[in-house]
Amino acid sequence: MGADIVLWMLLLLLIQVFIGIHIGIALAFCSGLGVYLMLGSYEAAVSILGNTAYEAVRKDVFAVIPLFVLMGDIISKSGAAGDLYQVCNRALRRIPGRLAIATIAGNTVFAAVTGVSIAAAAAFSRIAYPEMKKLGYKDTFSVGAVAGSACLGMLIPPSILLIVWAILTEMSVGALFLAGIIPGIILALLFATYVVTAAKINPDVAPDPKASVTSYVPLRRDELVGAGGIICLIFLVIGGLWGGLFTPTEAAGFGAIGAILVGLTKGMTSRDLLDAIYQAGKTTAPIMFLLIAAQMYSRLLALGGAINFIQSIFLSIGAEPWIIIALMLIIWIILGMLVDSVSIILLTVPIFAPLALSLGYDPIAFAIAGILVIEAGLLTPPFGLLVYTVKGALPDKNVTLGQIFKGSTPYFICILIAAMLVLMVPSLATWLPNVAL
């Protein structure tokens, strides 16, 4: 009876999400209604869900999210992202499609201090696109590089998606952070390979690197300070986790302090700092609400025995494990066309993660592959959150959504290739956590 109620609640949940009800409200409502129907007591349902929410917010790991978001917002507002882009641009000035490569390289490093792809997409839309436009890069090629490479923020630590996944599955945040490093670098290399290949095959999409380099302009001191500050923050946060000096929560705290120091060095005013804190609060509050609602949803699944029931359904069809995993990936891609990444994780991971474990897949490798596929949803129509972010942030309003979606397609394919590599070679994700932890 419990499993039947849960399945009805899942159906109701999906209906609510697709008709536009906020995912947090839908999760909380279905969890409350489902527990009430199972127990037959309003007081018992409120007590169980209240205790679930209370225990959720007591976890130290919840402090990781606002601190890392604050770190990224301070770095964004300080102007260090533009400094980083200029450093990458000068260093890569002889490579075909150098400005697109600089965008990818800048996003790779910037991702290690933001954790949110939207911040990178908005920043590099204003920084990188005008430079590519000025040197004659095709619009589709330029916006594709900005939107596609911004996906790196969801994989390279400190990623908000990795934190949410860890909280829902009770995995180590530090282990998932380290697991995302090598696949993130591989993904960046796949992006760069595509850019260089496209620039060589079709020179019209990007100018000749020698022709685009006029006179070398030395980097300014403030540009070196901004870019160097980001590099130091990466060593502080990731190095501290790798070396066992910090827990993820401590690393987030030191990262936020380091970001403030970088911002002050860059000349941030107290008003700028307050704006960054305010923006971090606006970003964090909905995520925290979603996580509390997701804990209630997980309790509903546990009380109803839904996970074992759904596993038995999948396993009873007698399909090979890879076919079941493929079905999960397809579901993620379809959901990515309709809802945002955090919502996809909240809806599916409590069910998919235990199922993958029962099929013999390493939980860390499955998490990284899952994040990659969910990342791809940020570039798929009609939702394509990153595409809409780039469109809204671009100074050139003549660029259409269709051009951004078209330019992002090769990056979408690269992301899926990286996910397949992680599933086929789990050590790409598990090696660093096994060595460091």
**Cα-based angle 27, 28, 30 (whole degrees, multiple of 5):** 65
**How far is CA 105 from each of CA 90, 215, 235, 308, rounded to the nearest angstrom?**
12, 22, 17, 43
Region 135-141: mean pLDDT is 87
- Are the C-beta atoms of 120 and 148 separated by less than 8 Å? no
> If you average pLDDT over every residue of the chain, what do you get?
82
- Comparison of pLDDT for 385 and 273, the residue scoring more: 273
Q: E strands of 282-393, at which residues?
A: none
- Comparison of pLDDT for 21 and 311, the residue scoring more: 21
Domain count, the chain: 1
Please tell me the least confidently modeled range out of 166-175, 209-218, 358-367, 413-422. 209-218
For residue 214, what pLDDT is reported? Answer: 43
Q: Which residues contact 190 (CB under 8 A, 6 or more apart)?
A: 414, 417, 418
Place of tokens 């269709």: 402
Q: Has residue 319 got a pLDDT over 70?
A: yes
- Residue 22 corresponds to which tokens in the numbers above? 């906020």
For residue 217, what pLDDT is reported? Answer: 57
* Cα distance between residue 74 and residue 272, in whole Å: 8
Q: Has residue 186 got a pLDDT over 90?
A: yes
Percent above pLDDT 70 for the chain: 92
* Cα distance between residue 410 and residue 191, in whole Å: 8
- Residue 184 corresponds to which tokens in the numbers above? 């993130």
Region 82-97: mean pLDDT is 76
Cis peptide preceding 382, ω within 30 of 0: yes
Region 336-353: mean pLDDT is 82
- Comparison of pLDDT for 37 and 48, the residue scoring more: 37
Q: Which domain holds residue 422?
A: 2-436
Which of these, 200, 186, 190, 185, lies nearest to 98 by C-alpha position?
200
- Residue 299 corresponds to which tokens in the numbers above? 């309790």
Region 116-137: mean pLDDT is 80
Q: Has residue 215 got a pLDDT over 70?
A: no
* Cα distance between residue 375 and residue 341, in whole Å: 7
Cα 229–chain centre separation: 22
- Are the C-beta atoms of 428 and 422 separated by less than 8 Å? yes
Longest dimension (CA), the chain: 76
**How far is CA 408 from each of CA 140, 182, 185, 196, 220, rounded to the nearest angstrom?**
8, 22, 19, 15, 32
Which of these, 101, 206, 148, 120, lies nearest to 417 by C-alpha position?
148
Cα 199–chain centre separation: 28
CB atoms within 10 A of CB 33: 16
Region 135-139: mean pLDDT is 85
Q: Quick one: pLDDT band at residue 413, thresholds 50, 70, 90?
A: very high
Q: Has residue 358 got a pLDDT over 80?
A: yes
